[in-house]
Amino acid sequence: MKIIDSHIHFSNSEHFVNAAKNSEHIVTLEHLEMIFQQSNIVLGIGMGVDGKDPADGISKPLTLGKEGLPPFLVQCLGIDTAAIRKETLNDTLDAFERMLNEKTTVGIKVYAGYQHFYVNDEIYHPFYEMAEAHDVPVVIHTGDTANSKALLKYAHPLTVDEVAVNFPRVRFVMAHYGNPWIADATEVARKNENVYVDLSGLAEGIFNVNWFMQHYEDYVNHMKMWMTYLGNYEKFIYGSDWPLVSMKAYISLIWRIIPVEYHELVFWKNAELVFSRIKEVLPKE
Ligand SMILES: [Zn+2]
C-alpha cells in the first residue's frame, strides 16, 4: 500500500542528527529517499524547524532549510514565537504569505509547549487567519515534549478545544495524539469537526514490534480503546516523526494498531483530505 507520512523532520541541527543515530537513520535526502522507497512512502510532510535566530531579528517561517524540495517532500511552516516583534510582525506575515503561495507549503506548525503560549493566544491568530485563507491545516504539537524547558500546560490537548471553536474553518491536527493524554485528545477530536490526530512520535529509536506490543500491551490497548470510543478513523493520520524512530518498525507498529479495514484511510486518504494541497504534488497515476 502507498503511504503518506504526515509528520517527519528534516533538519541538520544537532538534536535531529543525534536522534537519527539512535534509529539508524541519517539526515540526508538520499537516505530519506531510499527509506521512503523501501516502505512505499510516496510523500513526506516535513515540520519546519530551521531558521531560528534570524540575522535581521525578524521572525521568518521555520522550514526544512532547503531552497527547493525534492518531489517526495513538502513542508509545514513553523512559527518562531521567540523572534516575533510587534514592530516587524508585518514582515513576518509577509514572509509566511510568500511561502504559502508555494505549492510545497501544505500547512503551518505550532510548537506548543516548546513555545510558552497557549494555542489560542492572540500571538497565533494572524497565522490561523492565513491558514484559513490558504486552506491549509495547522499542526499543533500536543503531549509530551523532548526537552525539559518546554511547559506541558501549553501542549495539553485540551487547550486545542478553545482554538478549534474560535477558528471553526481551520483544520487542526493534534500531533502525537496528545500522548499521554490520549483520552483528552480523543474527546477534543470527537467533539470538534475540524480537529484531527496524527499518530507520530508514539515510539522512538529501534524496536522489535512484537516486543513493543507485549511490553506496552496495556498502553497499546488503552490507545485502541480510545480509538474505538472515538469511533471515526477519518480522524487519524499516519505520521512517524522520522528521524526519531526506525521507519520500518514504526509503520509495522501503527499497521498493527489500526484495524486493517481502516489502513487506507489512516495511511493515505485522511492526509489527502486534511492536507488538501498535497493533491497538487502527489504523483499522478
Ligand atoms: Zn515532530
The answer for residues whose C-beta is within 8 angstroms of residue 70's C-beta and 6 or more apart is: 29, 33
Asked if 59 and 90 count as a contact pair (C-beta separation under 8 A), the reply is no
Residue 285 has pLDDT above 70, yes or no: no
* pLDDT tens-digit readout, 231-244: 999 999 999 999 99
What mean pLDDT value characterizes the chain?
A: 96
**Distance in Å, CA 8 to ligand 1 centroid:** 6
Ligand 1 center to residue 243 CA distance, Å? 9
Angle made by CA atoms 67, 269, 225, in degrees to the nearest 5: 115
Position 7 scores a pLDDT of: 98
Q: How far is the CA of 259 from the centre of ligand 1 (A)?
A: 24
pLDDT > 70: what percent of the chain? 100
How large is the average pLDDT for residues 36-52?
Answer: 97
Q: What is the mean pLDDT of residues 242-259?
A: 97
What pLDDT sits at residue 143? 97
Average pLDDT over residues 160-179: 98
Q: How far is the CA of 200 from the centre of ligand 1 (A)?
A: 7
9 alpha carbon – ligand 1 mean position (Å) = 6
Per-residue pLDDT for 283 more than 90?
Answer: no
Q: Which residues contact 190 (CB under 8 A, 6 or more apart)?
A: 229, 230, 231, 232, 235
pLDDT value for 284:
75
Average pLDDT over residues 140-165: 96
**Contact call for residues 16 and 27 (beta carbons, < 8 A):** yes
Q: Is the pLDDT of residue 57 over 70?
A: yes
Q: How far is it, in rounded angstroms, from Cα 145 to Cα 159?
A: 15
Tell me the mean pLDDT in the region 94-110: 97
pLDDT of 5 reads 98
Is the model's pLDDT at 74 over the cut of 70?
Answer: yes
Nine cell digits for residue 270: 485522511
CA of 137 to the centre of ligand 1 (A): 16
Q: Give the whole-number percent of the chain exceeding pLDDT 90.
A: 96
Residue 223 backbone phi and psi in degrees, to 5: -65, -45
Is residue 25 within 8 Å of 64, Cβ to Cβ? no
Q: Any idea which architecture 3-280 has in CATH? A: Alpha-Beta Barrel (3.20)
**Domain residue spans in the chain?**
3-280
- C-alpha of residue 61 to centroid of ligand 1, in Å: 16
Residue 140 CA to ligand 1 centre (angstroms): 10
Mean pLDDT on 119-126: 98
Q: Averaged over 126-130, what is the pLDDT? A: 98
